[in-house]
């Protein structure tokens, strides 16, 4: 009677089953990942650019609301002034000629373009808020920004002093077209 082989013994004629991935399979997987990344990186860069543009518009809108409120609370006029150029900035201040690039006593808050890389300030007009009424002395355009993708966002102030944001070029939800 033949004896059954021990369960841990292998038959010499069978080859052991290989496990894992071959070098070719790994190279194919890496090539697929590289192709997918090359498609994703430009869209991600464009997404970041659009978010920076949105942050610039939202930031100015909130600063205009704050300036209007603070002017009424303090009982004195407040100003939102801009400096254009490649290193643009704007400041919320107690005087119209307060420089946003230099720390001064008149400056309450400053926002720099270097914090929002790729966002360009195309046009801007200073805004003064009357403390008695909260109205803007110069209603209309406060700032116009653009991004490298071609989107343009406009932040304006109504005669009542209320800020609004709209898109002049492109789409950037939740902002409507101008």
Look at 41 and 81; give whichever has higher pLDDT.
81
Domains of the chain: 49-169 (3.55.40.10)
pLDDT average, residue stretch 27-50: 85
Query: What are 121-130's pLDDT values in tens digits?
Result: 999 999 999 9
Give this prediction's pTM: 0.76
Give the per-residue pLDDT at 167. Answer: 93
Q: pLDDT at residue 89 above 90?
A: yes
Percent of the chain clearing pLDDT 90 (strictly above) = 52
Give the per-residue pLDDT at 19. Answer: 78
Provide the sign of the torsion angle of the four alpha carbons 165, 166, 169, 172, taken in this order: positive
pLDDT tier, 45 (very low <50, low <70, confident <90, very high otherwise)? confident
Give the per-residue pLDDT at 6. Answer: 60
Q: Which of 64, 46, 84 lies closest to 171 in space, CA to CA? A: 46
Put the strands of the sheet holding 140-146 in their side by side order. Answer: 120-124, 140-146, 152-157, 163-169
Percent of the chain clearing pLDDT 70 (strictly above) = 90
Token pair recorded at residue 75: 């009982």
d(CA 63, CA 65): 5
Torsion from C-alpha of 87, 90, 95, 101, nearest 10 degrees: -30
């Amino acid at each position: 009677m033949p004896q059954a082989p021990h369960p841990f013994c292998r038959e010499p004629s069978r080859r052991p089953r290989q496990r894992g991935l071959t070098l070719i399979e790994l190279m194919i997987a890496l090539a697929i990942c590289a192709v997918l990344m090359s498609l994703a990186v430009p869209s991600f860069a464009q997404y970041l650019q659009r978010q920076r543009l949105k942050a610039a518009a939202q930031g100015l809108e909130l600063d205009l609301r704050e300036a209007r409120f603070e002017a009424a609370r303090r009982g004195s006029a407040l100003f939102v002034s801009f400096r254009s150029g490649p290193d643009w900035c704007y400041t919320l201040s107690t005087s119209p000629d307060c420089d946003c690039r230099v720390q001064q006593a008149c400056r309450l808050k400053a926002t720099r373009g270097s914090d929002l890389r790729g966002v360009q300030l195309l046009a801007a007009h200073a805004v003064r808020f009357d403390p008695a009424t909260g109205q803007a002395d110069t209603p209309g355009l406060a700032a116009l920004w653009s991004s490298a993708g071609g989107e343009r966002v406009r932040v304006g102030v109504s005669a009542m002093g209320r800020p609004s944001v709209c898109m002049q070029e492109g789409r950037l939800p939740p902002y409507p077209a101008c």
